[in-house]
Structure 1
């Protein structure tokens, strides 16, 4: 990478020719860490003032409630209010551990914090994905008029908000374990609390034109079941897309050596994920799982993300600079719960380890990078 003249944003594996980057922010100055603000390009609109908007998709549970409303009339309003209040309390009774905040709903099912520091990392990652995909929110050929869209593991909701703004025709649902999304959004996007590992996501089957998944590594124990769910919820001809990163840094020039801090990071991360019961290798397994689940026209593209601005190519240098910030902001949240809860490390041991990682991340003599996989496929249309 550092010694080659690769063209900008060229995937390692690609079925199309890359084009110029559009509508992305300039890179930060190399010696400055620029905070990323929570972004919404969608207008803040009062749903009540938009009579022309299509009705949002109802979940299967909501539809059942509407269809069975006569049967449910015996339930008093007080009972419903009590249940709603109880659920709200459960969702927001966060776990605080080692000065970080974690989700409360299904406590312990996911290892990442949901506090401002980690949410900032998620928004930095969103910018990196836009840089990588040349300003595009997706590669799947979904057409110009998608109607029903699902964002699984929506995080801060930034992708769903941007997508809803770009496609006013779409009704976008984003769901996550944590209610960390903005409260005021455009009328064609809404956020829900849900678990991607549930045996039924609760939405109407054969209803979504596009299902989007991103950065769910280490979140799902049964990936084949997850992809069966996705296929079942897609409308015939609908598209699924997933983007995942490798947690194992490597190099092309031998500067990531056996026993180095980057080598240790990869091995320790994979061990922790295996013991947690949720594999961190999903980036390299998506295509096979989609094929097995019954998707068609499955396409995989693989990209490199340098860790630090060491690459000579100007575009890759920009990605590397943002990715350095991404790692520096993310590594504590990526590792703290897994190393302490799963591998039994002390907080002090984790911090010493992270100090070595930060030194490695900033060492420009080490030309580390990791892989990003973008995979999409279509639900077949019955003949």
Structure 2
């Protein structure tokens, strides 16, 4: 397997590991469990995460989640919390809840509420929390980073209280056309193919959006609900809300795409830094082509642990 499929921890102490980031191709990456995850953890990536968070809130009509968790959850776990923006917002919404956000990179200092804590942890390792503990386990954007999704869902099931919910949001890497303007050999079709190939080589699929509902059901969850949303790439839609989402999604691509592919293309596919930059120039040109009406799906799944 290629590197970020099975990076593993080095012999360094955790304190040293989490702060001595890998600097590579102009970006920084987590050092704890070095190589396990593909996204950078630098300021550029943090700014991009704010765009993604805004897109998700816009998509969900100003909601942070859709699962019917009630008005008084006590414990919430956010896996792969990134900058902690979702965890901070949910802690503000439920000031009496204990919110934990975990990630391979530390969350920077900020004005977080007192009821949220951030931990350096790998969600693919055995969880250390008590069984039947959480009211909600939240996952967003972990595509391409988990080798064993059934095991992760098993851990979530074990650590949720009876009646608790899992909720996951993922975006599809399959770019689609609303009017047949995306052929197999176009740049943004090949973009999808590269993502799928990278996931195959690392053993960490980038197609979890399409499969999570079934896997969550297989883990023992009930009342599985899947919601599908369309994110246009650019403001081409005649629908007012989709037009706004399209504007933000175009910015999402332009600000985020280097971070999406740099590690995977150079570490896994064997591209050079310059090859990646040349490819990104092609992608930027394709994104601005107003003749193409492209979109990709975002899927949200929530499900309940039986009583």
Q: TM-score range by the shorter chain?
A: over 0.9
1:175 aligned residue: 102
2:3 aligned residue: none
In structure 2, the residue corresponding to 1:265 is in which secondary structure?
Answer: helix
5 Å-filtered alignment, 1:274-313, equals 274-313=200-239
Q: Deviations over 1:231-267 (max 9, x none)?
A: 0010010011000000121112011112000110000
Distance 2:235 2:168 in 1: 26
> Are 1:89 and 2:19 counterparts?
no
> Are 1:103 and 2:52 counterparts?
no
- Of 116, 139, 151, 2:43 maps to 116
Distance 2:274 2:174 in 1: 23
Q: Which runs of 5+ in 1 are unaligned?
A: 1-84
Distance 2:288 2:52 in 1: 18
> Are 1:126 and 2:76 counterparts?
no
- Of 159, 162, 166, 1:236 maps to 162
- What is the Cα-based RMSD across aligned positions, in Å? 1.1
Distance 1:352 1:279 in 2: 25
Q: Deviations over 1:110-142 (max 9, x none)?
A: 011011111111110000000000000000000
Q: Which runs of 5+ in 2 are unaligned?
A: 1-11
Distance 2:293 2:223 in 1: 35
- Of 251, 262, 269, 1:336 maps to 262
1:184 Cα shift? 4.1
Aligned residues of 2:228 and 2:300 also touching (Cα < 8 A): yes
Give the alignment's TM-score, normalised by structure 2.
Answer: 0.95
Distance 1:135 1:357 in 2: 30
Q: Deviations over 1:41-97 (max 9, x none)?
A: xxxxxxxxxxxxxxxxxxxxxxxxxxxxxxxxxxxxxxxxxxxx9422210110000
In structure 2, the residue corresponding to 1:92 is in which secondary structure?
Answer: coil
Distance 1:362 1:202 in 2: 47
> Are 1:212 and 2:134 counterparts?
no
Larger strand share, 1 or 2: 2
1:27 aligned residue: none
In structure 2, the residue corresponding to 1:290 is in which secondary structure?
Answer: helix
1:152 aligned residue: 79
